[in-house]
């Protein structure tokens, strides 16, 4: 293992996070410590585009799109704001990378390559690049307008499980392949005028590089077109859209090495903002793959985001797919990233909390005190009787079910459960406090298990992030179900995408000779994370109920 050279301590690295509502930039030094950050908020900074939360929504067609020119304006404004802070000398910038909203696509006409090369620093990006857009809009990940195209994708692969096996996911409305197919169908002239079709990630990278750069190896897995195992386009799926050679040339190559420099920065940024002309552009990736680069996530480590929705990200060496979740190539190693997205999370927990507070006449309706006390006091399911609850105020993705609230009791020796209501068969509202956390965690445990390669079969470390990770009782109760060998930790991941992108830029430039895992371990300050007490080496009290939990899903 070679050392990172010490003469780089003046170097800076920029990570850009182009998400739905904002463009954020974080600059880190060679120790990966943040030096400066700035952001542009689309609705507030650019009201002229009339976006709401960064997008234009058509409820009739279920289309959700973003104006691409707005992003161009945002790049100029962000760099101006970074310079205004006076806290970073951009001539020391050695690398730029990005983490962008996934699945969105940008359509460029045949003038784009030349215009990018000829950028004039006395004008704005928007002034010069707006005319290169074959379509002014970019479909957003919240778009739901491609039902017919999704069916075609699933069918072409021989079913949704087969498509997941091939491309890491079944067909989804937001995935780029179905979106491009829809565009070709509904706006053939726009499709024909598109000499280049890019993802948001390599579009932003192309603007920074001043030339059209390759797609990213992780982000390309969000298209339903990429054969992940064999690292190549699936031609059977490409030809749903067009002649294979035509669509391949529009999409261009994929950078198989996520750390290689794609280009030096465009002279536009050197002349206008003083960014070093030696600054490398390292492949920009998607926001979820970018998130896992913000911390030293090793195989078998899991991030669980306990927000409005629930998301679990795991680094895995096992390529195990399912139509219920997503697998992407890891952006910097040969491993993969598994992503489980649940619709239900905080809202469902709050509803249980409210019922408990009502029962106990607690004046502060938003207090978690009683809920937390019960979550740690009620006996785990399977000890007195097996109680499995499903708390879905919103329809759920995993499993694919409509909104419901169901309490099922498995009596000793019976082959099917009995559905009960509150205060029947000994199931009181008190039980709901723990049952909802068990239910959310058991689903994650069951789905993660084939992706884990530890001897014990349990995750190594769990990082709990998002709103509810500030509630220690919730963290402890869920950790008891997930049994992390090395404990659970909480940390603030609110800047994870930009931070992950900045780390990626640094790795691409100064990490040569090290693997990504070596590089990030070396740099990581353990003080960034807080251990959740009592989550290391706990006894597994749930091994007997996983099977009944899975069977219970059949009764929702």
Residues that bind ligand XUL (CB under 6 A): 19-20, 101-103, 141, 174, 222, 286-288
Contact 286, 218 (CB under 8 A): yes
| Contact (CB, 8 A) for 323 and 168 | no
Q: Three-state SS for 277?
A: coil
* Rounded Cα gap, residues 18 and 171, in angstroms: 24
Nearer to ligand XUL, 4 or 218 (CB): 218
Select 325 or 390, whichever has its Cβ closest to ligand XUL.
325
CA-to-CA separations, 545 to 22, 388, 457, 552, in angstroms, rounded: 43, 9, 16, 10
Identify which of 273, 313, 271, 272 has the alpha carbon closest to the alpha carbon of residue 289: 313
Residue 169 CB, nearest approach to ligand XUL (Å): 8
Nearer to ligand XUL, 141 or 368 (CB): 141
Nearer Cβ to ligand XUL, position 143 or 485? 143
The nearer residue to ligand XUL, 330 or 480, going by C-beta atoms, is 330
In angstroms, the Cα distances linking 408 to 8, 166, 394, 422 are: 60, 36, 19, 11
User: How far apart are CB 274 and ligand XUL at their closest, in Å?
Assistant: 31
Q: Which is nearer to ligand XUL, 270 or 291 (CB)?
A: 291
What is the nearest approach in angstroms of ligand XUL to the Cβ of residue 396? 16
| Min dist. Cβ of residue 362 to ligand XUL (A) | 35
Alpha-carbon span 234 to 232, nearest angstrom: 6
Q: Report the candidate in 471, 98, 539 with the shortest Cα–Cα distance to residue 290.
A: 98
As a whole number of angstroms, the distance between CA 556 and CA 552 comes to 7
Rounded to an integer, what distance in angstroms lies between the CA atom of residue 277 and that of residue 291?
Answer: 28
Cβ proximity to ligand XUL, 29 vs 291, nearer residue: 291
Whether 517 contacts 298, CB under 8 Å: yes
Q: Which is nearer to ligand XUL, 19 or 490 (CB)?
A: 19
Closest distance to ligand XUL from the beta carbon of 475 (Å): 23
**Residue 141 CB, nearest approach to ligand XUL (Å):** 3
Who contacts 127 (Cβ-Cβ below 8 Å, separation ≥6)? none
For 396, how many CA atoms within 13 A lie in the half-sphere containing its CB? 24
Query: What is the nearest approach in angstroms of ligand XUL to the Cβ of residue 160?
Result: 16
Q: How far is the CB of 397 from ligand XUL (least distance, A)?
A: 11
């Amino acid at each position: 293992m070679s050392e990172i050279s010490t003469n780089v301590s003046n170097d800076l690295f920029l990570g850009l996070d182009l998400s739905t509502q904002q463009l954020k930039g974080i600059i880190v030094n060679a120790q990966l410590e943040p030096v400066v950050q700035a952001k542009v908020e689309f609705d507030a900074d650019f009201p002229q585009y009339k976006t709401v939360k960064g997008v234009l929504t058509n409820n009739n067609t279920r289309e959700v799109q973003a104006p691409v020119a707005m992003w161009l304006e945002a790049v100029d404004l962000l760099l101006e704001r970074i310079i205004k802070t006076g806290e970073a000398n951009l001539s020391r910038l050695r690398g730029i990378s990005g983490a962008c909203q996934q699945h969105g696509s940008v359509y460029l006409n045949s003038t784009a390559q030349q215009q990018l090369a000829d950028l004039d620093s006395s004008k704005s990006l928007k002034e010069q690049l707006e005319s290169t857009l074959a379509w002014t809009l970019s479909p957003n990940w919240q778009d739901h307008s491609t039902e017919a195209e999704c069916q075609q994708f699933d069918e072409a692969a021989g079913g949704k499980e087969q498509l997941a096996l091939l491309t890491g996911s079944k067909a989804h409305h937001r995935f780029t392949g179905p979106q491009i197919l829809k565009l070709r169908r509904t706006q053939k002239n726009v499709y024909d005028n598109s000499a280049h079709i890019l993802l948001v990630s390599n579009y932003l990278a192309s603007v920074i590089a001043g030339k059209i750069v390759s797609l990213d190896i992780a982000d390309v897995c969000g298209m339903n077109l990429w054969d992940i195992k064999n690292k190549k386009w699936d031609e059977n799926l490409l030809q749903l859209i067009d002649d294979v050679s035509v669509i391949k040339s529009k999409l261009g190559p994929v950078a198989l090495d996520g750390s290689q420099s794609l280009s030096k920065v465009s002279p536009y940024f050197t002349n206008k903002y003083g960014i070093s002309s030696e600054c490398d552009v390292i492949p920009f990736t998607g926001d979820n793959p970018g998130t896992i680069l913000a911390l030293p996530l090793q195989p078998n480590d899991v991030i669980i985001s306990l927000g409005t929705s629930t998301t679990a990200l795991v680094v895995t060496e096992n390529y195990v797919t399912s139509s219920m979740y997503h697998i992407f190539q890891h952006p910097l190693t040969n491993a993969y990233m598994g992503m489980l997205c649940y619709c239900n999370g905080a809202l469902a927990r709050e509803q249980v909390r409210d019922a408990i507070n009502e029962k106990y006449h607690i004046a502060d309706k938003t207090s978690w005190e009683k809920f937390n006390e019960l979550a740690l006091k009620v006996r785990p399911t399977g000890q007195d009787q097996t109680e499995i609850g499903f708390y879905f105020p919103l329809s759920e993705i995993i499993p694919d079910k409509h909104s419901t609230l169901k309490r099922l009791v498995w009596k000793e020796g019976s082959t099917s459960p009995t559905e009960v209501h509150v205060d029947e068969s000994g199931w009181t509202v008190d039980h709901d406090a723990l049952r909802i956390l068990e239910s959310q965690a058991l689903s994650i445990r069951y789905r993660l298990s084939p992706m884990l390669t530890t001897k014990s079969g349990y995750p190594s470390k769990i990082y709990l992030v998002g709103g509810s990770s500030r509630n220690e009782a919730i963290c402890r109760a869920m950790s008891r179900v997930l049994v992390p060998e090395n404990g659970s930790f909480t940390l603030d991941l609110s800047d994870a995408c930009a931070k992950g992108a900045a780390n990626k830029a640094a790795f691409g430039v100064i990490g040569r000779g090290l693997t990504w895992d070596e590089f990030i371990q070396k740099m990581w300050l353990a003080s960034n994370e807080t251990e959740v007490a009592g989550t290391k080496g706990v006894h597994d009290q749930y091994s007997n109920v996983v099977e009944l939990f899975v069977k219970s899903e059949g009764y929702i």
